[in-house]
Structure 1
Amino acid sequence: MLPPMSMNGEYLRVTPAELDRALKDPEWAWGLVEEVLDGEGEPAPAEARHFTTHQTWHLLGFLLQRSAFPVDIVHGEEPLATDDWGYGPPQYLTPERVQLAADTLHRTTYDQLIQGVDPSELTKAEVYPQIWDSPASLEWASDLFTPLTQFFRDAASASHAMLIWID
């Protein structure tokens, strides 16, 4: 698989049974991803199985790590496969870790995440993409933070796990 032109953070909600199957058969998991991406259309947000943070994934990861967020929701925490799904292998979060992430996201605002951050920190840390030339650039991911929070809350309320990858 060839990497696309930009790097995007991707999420797929899966049931515990689907996670078990994905762990035993990562090729099946990639097929599920393709099936969902090809057929999802525009479901109600609570029913959406896929979410993307587009290119904001690295900024969100930097901000969440800086705030000592308890779950790595940008990269995942456990390896799912060794095959490259774009820019590295996919990882996953268990339903329990999705629940913890959802609870913590619910108590976190984007303004809290960017409080005290100087854009030069992002440049120095080489946060992708390199657009950190003004304080206003910190607002770039704000429009995706609330939907990401809701996506995790919906997944947690259904006791779903999460597949996570950068493509």
Structure 2
Amino acid sequence: MNGNWLRVSPDELEQARTDLDWAYELAMTERDDNSKRWAATDKAWNGLDFLLDRLGFEIPLVLGAERFVELPDVEPDSDEMFDFLEDLEDDWGYGPPSYLTPIHVATAASRLAALTEDGLIRGVDPQELKRADIYPGPWEGPSELAWVAHYLPGVQTFFAAAAKDGAAVICWLD
């Protein structure tokens, strides 16, 4: 399971809202071309999300703030949710993508710019991640935290460029 982001213009975001198949094709093209519009946190997505949340980061960078598809009001692990996700006509991976608006992106870029790798993990006990059942585990020592933190410079660069362009960001797990 890997975290992914795609920078899109506001016009592209509007098109994605009405045509997720088009957005998926764009995302796969940008990923396959190793474009600067696409970025990933690989399996560190959940650890990064946990660490940012722990610092009071209000923007949900990894999972997005806005949904393209409204999820039903049922338990996340219920048969109804699995049936709903199975019926979706997309290839996005683990459920439908979400997105961050250009305002979310600008706010996130500003907050990210102030962080350091050390600041992201300072004072964190790896057992916190283990107790919270953060993917992928195991969280045995500081080296696992450093592995997550090493993604921060790339995340900062990606969001700074997106903010500079006034872009939105599509977020998904695959």
- Is the structural similarity TM-score above 0.5? yes
Contact 1:26 1:81 in 2 (8 A): no
| 2:122 partner letter | Q
- Aligned residue pairs, count: 155
Output aligned runs, 1:44-63, within 5 Å: 48-63=36-51
What does 1:6-21 align with in structure 2 at a 5 Å threshold?
7-21=1-15
Kindly report which structure 2 residues correspond to 1:108-147, keeping only aligned pairs within 5 A, or say none. Answer: 108-147=115-154
Q: Which amino acid aligns with 1:66?
A: R
Structure 1 moving runs of 4+ over 6 Å = none
2:21 to 20, 27, 32: 27
Alpha-carbon separation, structure 2, partners of 1:115 and 1:141: 12
TM-score, structure 2 as length reference: 0.84
Question: Residue 112 of structure 2 aligns with which residue?
Answer: 105
RMSD of the TM alignment (CA)? 1.3
8 A contact 2:48–2:149 mirrored in 1: no
Residue 163 of structure 2 aligns to a residue whose secondary structure is helix
CA shift for structure 1 position 33: 1.1
1:86 to 79, 89, 93: 93
Percent of aligned pairs with the same amino acid: 43
C-alpha distance in 1, partners of 2:4/2:48?
Answer: 13
- Give distance in 2, aligned partners of 1:133 and 1:35: 37
TM-score, with normalisation over the residues of structure 1? 0.88
Q: Is the 8 A contact 1:14 1:161 kept in 2?
A: yes
The DSSP-based 3-state class of the residue aligned with 1:92 is strand
SS in 2 for 1:103: helix
Is 1:164 aligned to residue 171 of structure 2?
yes
What are the superposed Cα offsets for residues 76-119 of structure 1, whole Å, 9 maximum, x if unpaired?
Answer: 01012364611121000001110000000001112112111111
